[in-house]
Amino acid sequence: MKFGGTSVATLPRWQNIRELVASRRAEGARVLVVVSALTGITDALKQLCGEGEPDKRKAAAGAIAQRHYDLLDHMQLALPDTLGSRLSDLAGLAANGPAPRGELAWQAQVQAHGELMSSALGAAFLSHSGLSTQWLDARECLAAVALPNQNERTRLLSAMVEAKPDPALNARLAVLGEVFITQGFIAREQHGRTVLLGRGGSDTSAAYFGALLKAARVEIWTDVAGMFTANPRQVPGARLLQRLDYEEAQEIASTGAKVLHPRCLSPLRDPRVPLLVKDTNRPELDGTVIGPEVRAYAPSVKAISARKGITLVSMESVGMWQQVGFLADVFAQFKQHGLSVDLIGSAETNVTVSLDPTENLLDSDAIAALASDLAKVCRVKVIAPCAAITLVGRGMRSLLHTLSGVLAEFGQLRVHLITQSSNNLNLTFVVDEEVVDQLLPHLHDLLIAAGALRTDESALFGPSWQALYGGGEVPDVAPAWWRGPQRQRLLKLAAEATPRYVYHLPTVRRQARELKSLAAVDRLHYAVKANTHPAILTALAAEGFAFECVSPGELEAVAAIVPEPVPLLFTPNFAPRRDYVYALATRATVTLDALHPLERWGELFRGREIVLRVDLGRGLGHHEKVRTGGSGSKFGLPLDQLPTFLQLADAHGVTVRGLHAHLGSGVLDAGHWGEVYAQLASLAERIGSVAFLNIGGGLGVPSHPGEARLDMAELDRVLREVKAAYPHYQLWMEPGRYLVADAGVLLARATQQKGKGAFRYLGIDTGMNSLIRPALYDAWHEIINLSRLDEPATALYQVVGPICESGDVLGTDRRLPEAQEDDVILIAQAGAYGKVMSSHYNLRDEADEIIIE
Amino acid sequence: MTIQPRLTKVFRFVRAHYADGVAELAYAFDDGAELVERIRFPQAPALPRERQAAFDAALKLLHLVAGVSYYKAGVPPRIEVADGPFDDATAELLDQLYLHGLAEFAYRNGLDLRGRISFPRSTTPPSPRRGEGRGEGMDLPQAPALNLPKRTLVPIGGGKDSLVAVEAIKSIGGEATAVWVGNSALIAACAERTGLPTLNIQRELAPGLFELNRLGAWNGHIPVTAVNSAILAVTAILYGYDSITFANERSASAATLEYEGQQVNHQWSKSLAFETLLGDWLHTHVASDLDYCSLLRPYSELAITRAFAKLTPYFDVFSSCNRNFKLLGPKPVDRWCGQCPKCHFVFLALAPFLPKPRLLAIFGRNLLDDDSQAAGFDALLEYQDHKPFECVGEGAEARAAMYALSQRPEWQEDALVERFRSEILPQLDAAQLELEPWLQPSPEHRVPVRLQGALAAIG
């Protein structure tokens, strides 16, 4: 069991250690505790080493001793002899300085005292509290090996140990006792000198001991429950990784995860000792188990990481083609300029390498000098700032087919380098750094949605970081309405007829009220294209919503239902002239998003107030087809045409009263609307006549189990913040799917099954003719066998419809109970873009629509 | 009846009033409602009696200068002043400011202001406030000296220039306060990083101006540095400072373009011409010991970026970007839009003086390796376009910086540098592209003797 610096710095933490050790003893295990120095002590010792004057060194040693006296005081322990002798050794080392031993050996000796002291103190505390504990000198167990590429510094300050199982050590300890405590970070080399193990040294010590003793397991106790599928700071929805093999874990650790040092895994691999990461403060959490490869699970991406501040050097020359030694010469230049190469990608005439951010790179002329030297033998290009995004998972090449959505995302970006090593554990993309913060959470979602990161495999993936640590309380997601008392009613409705859509109005109202809680929003419009059922329009009008329409047909449908004073917004795209003529005769506020209407039909708009929809230049959303920003999308006026648009407006006496932008659908990051809002506001400041800003909709509705919901409180905070900065603009929004998706389900009945190779198909009586989203957007809808809601999900189905299209698949790889003909199958979240997008294709009957209160 | 701003006939300076740290400046169009701007001076001290007359003069000037924001909404043919007419020097300052300061506004709106702007002049000049002359000539009677404390107001804009000025004053141990007008988290962060005492003056535009905008007022660029300068003149008298040092550089005096015989300079209120007009006016009408100058006047943008390249502690807080970032974030994209001429210019001008990875870390991206930015950089180089309407360096300066990069292996393959080498450079005379001449200061400046030592720190 290894405990780090903060875990050994206070009495309560030591009491915690005592309990954990005692619980392992209770399980019958013999325990070796490996400790770091008290937090801050290693730094203090390093500082002491840098001090030239003996008096200052002595004072520093005194301050360090005092820390330990203070802790002893809290523990109400007398100074144990073991610790006393360490303290006097340290005082002596400080007084004498490096001279007798040589600078580096002295430094190692001094710094080793952090762990020597903390372990002596720990032994006293544990024994005194009734847990008889033997103090063990790590240097008598861990022998550093000399390696050919080491210099004196690395030999002494970042040494390596070859740790093979040593039954003699086991035997020696067996006679000494049941509980031991020893030091992390230190070892001894062949000449008997004390050496250090370098950064992450205590984890590595624990691993060495685990290997030497061929332990049942190594436990690393730290401040987080383990490794996650992504850095939780970047992706709050990152999931706890409950099982990893050594190679995967090492790859994740070396591409960004800070929880484990990458070096601490390799000693455990051969002796097959598992390593467990646990949270000291939350010992009840499962943590991450790292062990030998497990073949019982389907291949899955395990984690996605990003490293920023990367600089690429691209070298291009036909001279390298089939030339002996070209690369050796080139790499010699990197060595000469003190730059360490990380990733490498090569073609016949190009080699591109990546450099990690170091002080040498940022603040010296190293890169200029390197480029000058390289330019003598090839064309060189320095590309920065970049970020390396790495997907980690065993068998990465067999997962490539699932990554199409992810690859499409990279297709929108400048990808400078892709690497995939022969160990088949990773796939790395080097992209522009600026895109990473937004990209990472998005890719994480995409990996889950694409089934590449198999979060449905509950043995591998634990709860999300957000659920474990996020903001104290996780709002309890109410179970979907159809799971409760409404289930019987739905079964009855399905018995009457299928396919049919059922809409639950209380859910529409609940969502509406949630949006109304956004205090900064002055006007909410329902984007009626999501669902135009009259009962839904009536319900939302009663909730005080305005309405957003995109065609004369929608305007007509809304006008027939909602009362006169309710404001309407007309936001068409590539609409013909006659549509504008129609809309201008209604009370709707008209939105333009191109020059053409003003250029060619300017007189139509004379004297009118309009809204201008701009394209802020980048798109967001869960699928390429729902993205509505960026040059690849047909929506919005590009910003470089704004001055022309304003001149045309002026020429025709048209007042731009509002600005609008909408970047896409299914966005779950609250910060996004704040950014759109702030960008629109800064544009509006240049226009003068603008009175309101319409930041669109696109509020995401999570579809997968465990996926984080859009944080309304955070959205509220973000919008208030921008509003405070730009108080003179009204804020409008136009959500659609958010209001109605969860309220609707599509009911169908099972018709038959078919086995084909490893696949099992479950046929139902409707498909893409009723619900086209899975085929159109790869949308994921939860599918439930409502007739067998409580039966175990033992079958793995491809759920398909009766349409003569191979794309008529509603859900792939779904775990469901064994189905029978006529079972009622429920497709969830079908309230938005379901019925409105349905068709008569194959001349199949349309689903009807039922409203329930 | 709602007012039609563009059809108004008279712009009236109604009154200016100061009490308890708040200056109220009132304006009106025709018989319309008053437009009242408020300027708040935090923790304003009581005004010493001997400075009252100077303060009144400075406040009057502020009223007249700040009026430009309102006047431009309608640009009516007549200007009326409640307590006019003015002596020649005052009327001249205002005529020039309104004509040249609004030149870009007029150009963009297709207006011609010549002959339209005329502040009332008295035939017999009212006697200016007499004091000891400073021997600058018979024609320039001096206002009295007020023995103002020997300390400096340094306006902070969040960009590199004012930070170079701050460090130059710190280098000679000068006592200074970092001051800024308005709300800006970015400027506040920069001001704090200077370690100087800070002073944040609040300016509230008249709410009626937003209403006029909605009613179709003329809109566009105003000489905001002139307004800030007038605010700081009041500040200096109120709190007691003997100098106001802006950070306007040499190229601010260069016109952006010429249009129907008129020079249009986006930065006119940062030019030496305006500095001279205002500086002299303050000496003759407010206090002979209140100096108004620009510390960076002798320097080119490139000399300033070279000086700034040594100021590492500011790299993660400053921004010269002209997109109005009212909300700050920790990332480069939260401070640099990467699209505007200011971003383009500062990137280009810093590039010769910083290690490439460091520069790219400041901006979070490489603007010179982005084809879509070609037009923006072309404008800076005055290649196939005129200089942008922004506070950026001269075209020849930008060309010198680009040429320097084109000679460096770590830059020369970047898309726009490569384009410069293959497409633009062959059309240029390499002899005109040296960086070195830009790094030499020119002798022209109005920095008072007390602060001239700071010039050496800039280089």
List, for residues B275-290, the tens digit of each pLDDT value: 999 999 999 999 999 9
Which A-chain residues 353-372 have CB contacts (< 8 A) with chain B? 357, 361-368, 370-372
For B205, nearest residue in chain A (alpha carbons)? A728
Two tokens at A8?
């050994």
Cα gap B411→B420, rounded to integer Å: 11
pLDDT at A729: 93
Q: How does residue B136 score in pLDDT terms, banded at 50, 70 and 90? A: very low
In tens, the pLDDT along A756-770 reads 887 899 999 999 999
Instruction: Report, as an integer, the average pLDDT of A514-530.
Output: 95
pLDDT at A682: 84
Q: How does residue B10 score in pLDDT terms, banded at 50, 70 and 90? A: very high
pLDDT at A629: 57
Instruction: Report, as an integer, the average pLDDT of B425-431.
Output: 91
* d(CA B324, nearest CA chain A) in Å: 6
Q: Do B408 and A371 touch (CB under 8 A)?
A: yes
Contact list in A for residue B327 (CB cut-off 8 A) is 674, 678, 721-722, 725
For A687, nearest residue in chain B (alpha carbons)? B219
pLDDT at A542: 95
In tens, the pLDDT along B324-343 reads 666 667 788 788 888 889 99
> Which is higher by pLDDT, A332 or A293?
A332
Closest CA to B78 of B14, B27, B8, B31: B8
Share of chain B above pLDDT 70, in %: 93
Instruction: Report, as an integer, the average pLDDT of A133-142.
Output: 94
Q: Is the pLDDT of residue A473 over 60?
A: no
Instruction: Report, as an integer, the average pLDDT of A25-31.
Output: 92
**Interface predicted TM-score (ipTM):** 0.77
Two tokens at A27?
């399980």
User: Do the bridges between strand B243-246 and strand B152-155 make them parallel or antiparallel, or are there none, so unpaired?
Assistant: parallel
* d(CA A224, nearest CA chain B) in Å: 25
In tens, the pLDDT along A445-455 reads 888 877 788 87
Contact list in A for residue B369 (CB cut-off 8 A) is 383
Q: How does residue B216 score in pLDDT terms, banded at 50, 70 and 90? A: confident
Our answer to whether residue A804 is catalytic in this structure is: yes
pLDDT at A474: 46
Listed in sequence order, the DSSP H helices in A548-641 are: 552-561, 577-584, 596-601
Q: Do A383 and B323 touch (CB under 8 A)?
A: no
| Minimal Cβ distance to B365: which of A368, A385, A657 | A385
| B413 lies within 8 A of chain A by CB | yes
3-state secondary structure of A528: helix
A429 secondary structure, DSSP code: E
Q: How does residue B138 score in pLDDT terms, banded at 50, 70 and 90? A: very low
Contact list in B for residue A722 (CB cut-off 8 A) is 326-327
Instruction: Report, as an integer, the average pLDDT of B221-232.
Output: 96
pLDDT at A705: 63
Q: Is the pLDDT of residue B423 over 50?
A: yes
DSSP A750-789: EEEEEEETTEEEEEES--TTT--HHHHH-----EEEGGGT
CB atoms within 10 A of CB A791: 12
For B216, nearest residue in chain A (alpha carbons)? A689
| B369 lies within 8 A of chain A by CB | yes
| Minimal Cβ distance to A380: which of B333, B369, B409 | B409
Per the prediction, chain A carries an average pLDDT of: 89
Helix/strand/coil (H/E/C) assignment for every residue in A200-254: CHHHHHHHHHHHHCCCCCEEEEECCCCCECCCCCCCCCCEEECEEEHHHHHHHHH
Give the best residue of B104, B326, B347 to mutate against chain A (max A CB count within 10 A). B326
In tens, the pLDDT along A611-644 reads 999 988 754 444 444 455 566 778 999 888 999 9
Burial of A523 (0-12, 13-18, 19+ CB in 10 A): middle
Give the best residue of A356, A362, A669 to mutate against chain B (max B CB count within 10 A). A362
Share of chain A above pLDDT 70, in %: 95
For A396, half-sphere exposure in the C-beta direction (CA atoms, 13 angstrom radius) is: 20
Q: Is the pLDDT of residue A327 over 90?
A: no
pLDDT at B132: 46
| Minimal Cβ distance to A363: which of B333, B355, B411 | B355
| Minimal Cβ distance to B355: which of A364, A678, A721 | A364
DSSP A783-813: EEEGGGTTS---EEEEEE-SSSSTT-EEEEE
Q: Is the pLDDT of residue A237 over 60?
A: yes
Cα gap B373→A547, rounded to integer Å: 39
- Whether B202 and B182 have beta carbons less than 8 Å apart is answered as yes
- Whether B310 and B324 have beta carbons less than 8 Å apart is answered as no
Q: Do B355 and A365 touch (CB under 8 A)?
A: yes
- Segment among A191-205, A245-259, A292-306, A652-666 with least mean pLDDT: A292-306
In tens, the pLDDT along A491-506 reads 999 999 999 999 999 9
Q: Is the pLDDT of residue A525 over 60?
A: yes
| Minimal Cβ distance to B364: which of A434, A657, A686 | A434
Instruction: Report, as an integer, the average pLDDT of B194-219.
Output: 92
Cα gap A750→A281, rounded to integer Å: 49
Catalytic residue among A141, A378, A549, A804: A804
In tens, the pLDDT along B359-414 reads 999 998 899 998 888 999 999 998 876 667 666 778 899 999 999 999 999 999 99
Instruction: Report, as an integer, the average pLDDT of B422-426.
Output: 94
Cα gap B267→B117, rounded to integer Å: 19
Q: Is the pLDDT of residue B130 over 80?
A: no
pLDDT at A470: 65
Q: Is the pLDDT of residue A599 over 50?
A: yes
- Whether A341 and A358 have beta carbons less than 8 Å apart is answered as no
Q: Do A309 and B356 touch (CB under 8 A)?
A: no
- Whether A105 and A191 have beta carbons less than 8 Å apart is answered as no
Instruction: Report, as an integer, the average pLDDT of B194-222.
Output: 92
pLDDT at A472: 44
| B365 lies within 8 A of chain A by CB | yes
Instruction: Report, as an integer, the average pLDDT of A663-686.
Output: 81
Q: Do B364 and A688 touch (CB under 8 A)?
A: no
Cα gap B18→A643, rounded to integer Å: 40
* d(CA A677, nearest CA chain B) in Å: 11
3-state secondary structure of B76: coil
| B219 lies within 8 A of chain A by CB | yes
Q: Do B409 and A374 touch (CB under 8 A)?
A: yes
> Which residues are CB-neighbours of A786 under 8 A, at least 6 positions away?
A482, A487, A490, A491, A494, A747, A823, A824, A825, A826
- Whether A620 and A629 have beta carbons less than 8 Å apart is answered as yes
pLDDT at B67: 97
pLDDT at A623: 45
